[in-house]
Amino acid sequence: MITNKQIKRNNFLTQGVHLLMTQGYHATGVNEIAKAVQVPKGSFYSYFNSKEDFAAETITHYIEPFIQLLKKHIEQSPHDTLAALKNYYEELIITVGKNGYKGGCLLGNMMGEVGDTSELCNQALKSAVERYRLLQYHALIKAQKQGTVRQDRSAEMMANLLVNSWQGALLRMKIEKSVQPLQEFYDTLLGDYFISA
């Protein structure tokens, strides 16, 4: 059974995603976080040791829905894992367009802002990226066995390429205010480069 403390903690993390996405780490204060959750500032420290600890946990909280969504797509297309990856990224592109191209990716934003200055956030970022990358790596291995993805390139390299290219496309999307960079990522990698000859 979920306790009130767990519900409140989850609320903190959900608000944290929103605040860190829209304002960044340095522009978001503990007072503002507590206000968003409608608790006194002192209550924040009942849940988190520091703002840095909060940011690291927010990173982990942020990636979880993406991992669950990707797993769902893979489970829904067990005999065509390439289609599962395509469907997953198509859904992300549609969602980003509906959201008005705002925010980008919390992982990418935090990598740029505190990735090399906060060891705690650095570890949370590396863990989140690795979990995400590993899921795509296993999907690509499966797709290679199914004969839909080329086998002259390693699944490891292609999974890295997916994660790195998506992050770059999201950054371009933010400045161009268009899903075109995301669509180019999709068409170039999933629609062409990865395809088995």
- Encode pLDDT of 115-147 as tens digits: 888 999 999 999 999 999 999 999 999 999 999
Residue pair 181/173 in contact (Cβ under 8 Å)? The answer is: yes
Is the pLDDT at 99 greater than 90? The verdict is no
Q: What is the mean pLDDT of residues 148-161?
A: 98
CA distance 27 to 6: 26
Q: What's the pLDDT score for residue 197?
A: 79
Residue pair 86/186 in contact (Cβ under 8 Å)? The answer is: yes
In a domain, 74, yes or no: yes
CA-closest candidate to residue 61, choices 18, 102, 108, 117: 18
Q: What's the pLDDT score for residue 116?
A: 84
CA-closest candidate to residue 13, choices 27, 29, 33, 30: 33
Q: What is the mean pLDDT of residues 102-113?
A: 86
In a domain, 11, yes or no: no
In a domain, 108, yes or no: yes
Q: Tell me the pLDDT of the chain averaged across its residues.
A: 93
Q: What's the pLDDT score for residue 122?
A: 95
In a domain, 161, yes or no: yes
In a domain, 5, yes or no: no
CA distance 186 to 184: 5
In a domain, 162, yes or no: yes
DSSP code of residue 167: H
In a domain, 151, yes or no: yes
**Helix, strand, coil abundance in the chain, percent, nearest 5:** 75, 0, 20
Is the pLDDT at 100 greater than 90? The verdict is no
**Total domain count for the chain?**
1
- State both tokens at 129: 């990226």
Q: What is the mean pLDDT of residues 2-11?
A: 86
Is the pLDDT at 108 greater than 80? The verdict is yes
In a domain, 145, yes or no: yes
What is the per-residue burial (b if ≥16 Cβ within 10 Å, else e) of 40-71?
eeeebeebbeebbebbbbbbebbbeebeeebe
Q: What is the mean pLDDT of residues 19-40?
A: 92
Question: CB 1: neighbour CB atoms within 10 A?
Answer: 3
28 dihedral zone (left: phi>0; alpha: psi -120 to 50; beta): beta
Q: What's the pLDDT score for residue 77?
A: 94
**Neighbour-count burial of 141, counting CB atoms closer than 10 A to its CB (0-12 exposed, 13-18 middle, 19+ buried):** middle
Strand ranges inside 2-45, DSSP E? none
Tell me the residue range of the domain where 118 lies. 50-193
Q: What's the pLDDT score for residue 4?
A: 82
CATH number at residue 189: 1.10.357.10
For the entire predicted model, the pTM comes to 0.92
What does the pLDDT look like over 161-172, one tens digit per residue? Answer: 999 999 999 999
